[in-house]
């Protein structure tokens, strides 16, 4: 059983109540807590030593990553983060200076995005360190952007550059908080997700949530990162740059769809507001369930999804 099979088995067991607008299955839960102007976003995520970072990683970068992952999910709903609690689980004998470093990185990133750290938990965890962050956010009432709104004919757009995150970017990425908030204000985005497991996998999640749609992606339009191209030329990991861009994961960029007629408007508005962050139109949503890749030689099936917990790379 891989990660998403397990999630699908567990979801039917989850209780709900009248506060739940959207529950499990998106980047964040959406709750109605009585504010007439806004809904509350709720997200939790964890980073585990040996899975999300190596034992020799800079602890300040580990702390940054722990909260930035959650910030990216809030951004992927078009919201703004407000407050977090942190669970720090440590193996016996871990140096207190390491924990302080984690908190320096975590608190610096939280302060940068005006997020309060309001408490948490410390505990032992035999074997490796774990940092779990639960994050609250706000989004204008009924304006949260879900994964499930893509429509046939939509243009597919992605921020930033893809691939090669393992070379270090997975520890120092910047969540697209301002960009996600701006996308919500346009009212033009149909579906939105952040790229944590790789474009090939997360695009499929968005399309499945939108009713089992398909997509055609143009390989020449993909914004492949310089490090992915460099590693491919050097033969590092024997992974072509295109495959790295599709499956590496932990890019934490925003992938979204808009009506084809609105694509130029969105791209022009993005470039005006965020001139240092790339935006690319990489394909379109199609009727069928197939996710295809078009290149100079024709059309072929998109490679399988990238990282999945309990299975590793496919």
Domain hosting residue 218, numbered range? 147-313
Are 132 and 167 within one domain?
A: no
Are 90 and 238 within one domain?
A: no
* Two tokens, residue 193: 């997700």
Distance CA 41, CA 132 (A): 17
Are 64 and 112 within one domain?
A: yes
- pLDDT tens digits for 205-234? 999 999 999 999 999 999 999 999 988 877
Residues whose CB falls within 8 Å of the CB of residue 299, separated by 6 or more in sequence, listed in order: 216, 292, 293
Domain boundary among 140, 160, 194: 140
Domain boundary among 81, 116, 140: 140
Are 305 and 190 within one domain?
A: yes
Distance CA 217, CA 63 (A): 35
Residues whose CB falls within 8 Å of the CB of residue 309, separated by 6 or more in sequence, listed in order: 2, 3, 51
Are 187 and 90 within one domain?
A: no
pLDDT of residue 312: 47
89 contacts 128 by C-beta, under 8 angstroms? no
Are 164 and 297 within one domain?
A: yes
- pLDDT tens digits for 81-116? 999 999 999 999 999 999 999 999 999 999 999 999
Residues whose CB falls within 8 Å of the CB of residue 298, separated by 6 or more in sequence, listed in order: none
Distance CA 246, CA 202 (A): 10
pLDDT of residue 314: 34
Instruction: Give the pLDDT band of residue 313 (cuts 50, 70, 90).
Output: very low
Are 233 and 109 within one domain?
A: no
Are 195 and 309 within one domain?
A: yes
Are 42 and 117 within one domain?
A: yes
Distance CA 44, CA 213 (A): 28
Are 178 and 230 within one domain?
A: yes
Domain boundary among 140, 155, 180: 140
Here the CATH number for the domain that contains residue 96 is 3.30.1330.10
Here the CATH number for the domain that contains residue 167 is 3.90.650.10
Are 46 and 184 within one domain?
A: no
Are 78 and 161 within one domain?
A: no
* Res. 310: pLDDT tops 60: no
Distance CA 103, CA 96 (A): 11
What total of structural domains would you count in the chain?
Answer: 2
């Amino acid at each position: 059983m891989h990660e998403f099979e397990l999630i699908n088995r567990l979801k039917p067991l989850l209780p709900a109540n009248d506060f739940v607008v959207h529950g499990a299955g998106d980047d964040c839960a959406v709750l109605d807590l009585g504010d007439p102007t806004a809904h509350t976003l709720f997200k939790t995520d964890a980073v585990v030593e040996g899975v999300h970072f190596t034992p020799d990683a800079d602890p300040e970068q580990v702390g940054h990553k722990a909260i930035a992952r959650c910030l990216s999910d809030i951004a992927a709903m078009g919201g703004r983060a407000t407050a977090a609690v942190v669970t720090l689980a440590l193996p016996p004998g871990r140096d207190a200076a390491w924990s302080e470093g984690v908190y320096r990185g975590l608190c610096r990133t939280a302060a940068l995005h005006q997020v309060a750290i309001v408490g948490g938990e410390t505990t032992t965890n035999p074997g490796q360190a774990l940092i779990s962050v639960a994050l609250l956010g706000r989004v204008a009432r009924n304006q949260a952007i879900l994964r499930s709104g893509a429509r046939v004919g939509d243009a597919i757009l992605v921020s930033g550059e893809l691939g090669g995150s393992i070379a270090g970017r997975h520890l120092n990425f910047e969540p697209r908080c301002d960009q996600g908030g701006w996308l919500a204000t346009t009212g033009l985005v149909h579906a939105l997700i952040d790229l944590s497991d790789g474009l090939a996998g997360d695009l499929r999640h968005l399309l499945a949530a939108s009713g089992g749609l398909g997509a055609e992606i143009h390989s020449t339009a993909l914004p492949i990162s310089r490090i992915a191209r460099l590693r491919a030329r050097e033969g590092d990991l024997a992974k072509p740059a295109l495959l790295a861009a599709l499956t590496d994961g932990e890019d934490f960029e925003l992938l979204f769809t808009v009506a084809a007629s609105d694509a130029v408007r969105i791209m022009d508005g993005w470039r005006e507001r965020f001139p240092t962050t790339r935006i690319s139109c990489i394909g379109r949503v199609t009727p069928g369930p197939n996710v295809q890749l078009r290149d100079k030689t024709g059309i072929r099936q998109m490679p399988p999804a990238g990282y999945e917990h309990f299975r590793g790379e496919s």
